[in-house]
């Protein structure tokens, strides 16, 4: 079977699109976003519903705020991504890691308290 020029170009185009789709599906995003307002407000809201005193809540939030930059930095290094801080309007993307950062920071506080 002899391949003519048109078939060759079609084959090259199909292979190109397969490689392009594979790259888009397999590789993680290089930029991720953290909504700092949500990252700070959510733990504060959880604490306000607790039975802790105001002073104890403030102490926990100070520890949380101190641990937050380190957790964000470690996440960026571990996943090889650049972390941007901005207001997130819609959170339906895997690029928004705000909830992950909240979970990891709270986990670190619990671990350090033990």
CATH classification at residue 54: 3.30.910
Examine residue 24 and state whether it is found in any structural domain, yes or no.
no
Examine residue 88 and state whether it is found in any structural domain, yes or no.
yes
Assign 18 to helix, strand or coil.
helix
Task: Give me the helix-helix angle, 36-48 and 54-79, nearest 10°.
Answer: 140
H or E stretch at 56: helix 54-79
Residue-number span of the structural domain to which 80 is assigned:
29-113
Going by the DSSP 8-state scheme, the letter that residue 96 receives in this structure is: B
Split at pLDDT 50, 70, 90, the class of 88 is: confident
Q: Which of 71, 70, 48, 69 minimizes the C-alpha distance to 58?
A: 48
Examine residue 33 and state whether it is found in any structural domain, yes or no.
yes
Split at pLDDT 50, 70, 90, the class of 61 is: very high
Examine residue 8 and state whether it is found in any structural domain, yes or no.
no
Q: Which of 93, 92, 95 minimizes the C-alpha distance to 28?
A: 95
What's the total number of domains in the chain? 1
Examine residue 91 and state whether it is found in any structural domain, yes or no.
yes
Global pTM?
Answer: 0.70
């Amino acid at each position: 079977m002899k391949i003519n020029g048109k078939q060759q170009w079609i084959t090259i185009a199909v292979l190109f699109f397969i490689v392009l789709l594979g790259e888009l599906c397999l590789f993680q995003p290089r930029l991720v976003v953290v909504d700092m307002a949500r990252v700070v407000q959510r733990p504060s809201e959880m604490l306000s519903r607790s039975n802790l005193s105001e002073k104890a809540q403030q102490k926990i939030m100070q520890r949380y705020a101190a641990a937050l930059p380190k957790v964000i930095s470690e996440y960026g290094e571990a996943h090889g991504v650049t972390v941007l801080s901005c207001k997130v309007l819609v959170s339906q993307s895997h690029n928004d890691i705000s909830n992950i950062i909240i979970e990891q920071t709270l986990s670190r506080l619990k671990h350090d308290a033990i």
